[in-house]
Amino acid sequence: MTVHGQDSFFAAHNWFRPGRGPRYLQLCSHIGDAIASGRLGPETLLPSERALAELAGVSRVTVRKALARLVRDGLVRQRRGAGSFVRGPGPRLEHSLSTLTSFTEYMQRRGKASSSLILNAGLFMPTPDETMSLGLSPSERVARIERLRSADGQPMAIECSSVPEELLPAPDTVTTSLYSVLRNSGHTPVRAVQRIGACNLAAREAELLNLPEGSAVLKIERAGYLANGRPVEFTRGTYRSDIYDFVAELRPDATT
């Protein structure tokens, strides 16, 4: 399968807008958007680097950089000697709603290397939401950590976790797993309540997750509790709905 209407699809007037950032990124988003919308289906063969440079009216370096970004983002696969192909949808990840696991443990079990980019971390005065969810007095501070979470280098979720300062006095100690830091200090969550909803990505989150702005994602709020019932964690996360499936096992209601 090749790209139909190649000439016009890749022509610069269809994707380049002066002042909207580097050409390679604009070309990359143009191709990425077409993959996301299905205009370029799985296994579509993209034109060769040279042909693409000609069609798009850019240098081969620009094309190479755009393709490298698409490969990095998992949208395109390069086969030596055969060319660049649109990838099919990757395997979806099933996330059980009935077990209390951490991102790091969950990815480890699936043989994936997890990593986190700290976007923001520190001790803050609580927002009204945090005060309520964590049962704080208005004068108690919270440790707040916002992270971009990736698996095998691919961005999967953005999570903002808040923990009472008393239970996590040094948020900068969370370098890999929040739960392992909490476990080490004897503050493991043993129960959690989650609220799941759908929403569309705003510009900042879209850029972090490498998805087109407006993509549908899952919003999940988790309130985690210690064995004595004290709230230990309030996490708001944005999860890629093209990868995650949240699965719950259901049993008949014993009262009916």
- What is the secondary structure of 102-135 as a DSSP string? -HHHHHHHTT--EEEEEEEEEEEPPPHHHHHHHT
Let me know: does 34 contact 40? Beta carbons within 8 Å: yes
- Closer residue to ligand 16G in complex, CB, 27/211: 211
Tokens at residue 35, please?
């993959």
- Closer residue to ligand 16G in complex, CB, 15/103: 103
What is the per-residue binding string for ligand 16G in 169-188, x denoting contact by CB under 6 A? Answer: --------xxx---------
Let me know: does 178 contact 3? Beta carbons within 8 Å: no
Longest dimension (CA), the chain: 69
Judged by CB under 6 A, the residue of 10, 75, 237, 238 near ligand 16G is 237
Tally of residues, the chain: 256
What is the per-residue binding string for ligand 16G in 87-106, x denoting contact by CB under 6 A? Answer: ---------------xxx--
**Site size for ligand 16G, by CB under 6 A?**
13
Q: Is 180 helix (H, G, I), strand (E, B) or coil?
A: helix
CB of 104 to ligand 16G, least distance (A): 3
- Closer residue to ligand 16G in complex, CB, 78/102: 102
Tokens at residue 50, please?
């040279």
Let me know: does 171 contact 154? Beta carbons within 8 Å: no
Contacting residues for 214 by C-beta, under 8 A, at least 6 apart: 200, 201, 206
CB of 200 to ligand 16G, least distance (A): 19
What is the per-residue binding string for ligand 16G in 42-81, x denoting contact by CB under 6 A? Answer: ----------------------------------------
Number of Cβ atoms within 10 Å of the Cβ of 9: 18
Determine if 220 is a binding residue for ligand 16G (CB under 6 A).
yes
CB of 252 to ligand 16G, least distance (A): 26
Binding residues for ligand 16G (CB under 6 A): 102-104, 159, 161, 177-179, 220, 222, 233, 235, 237
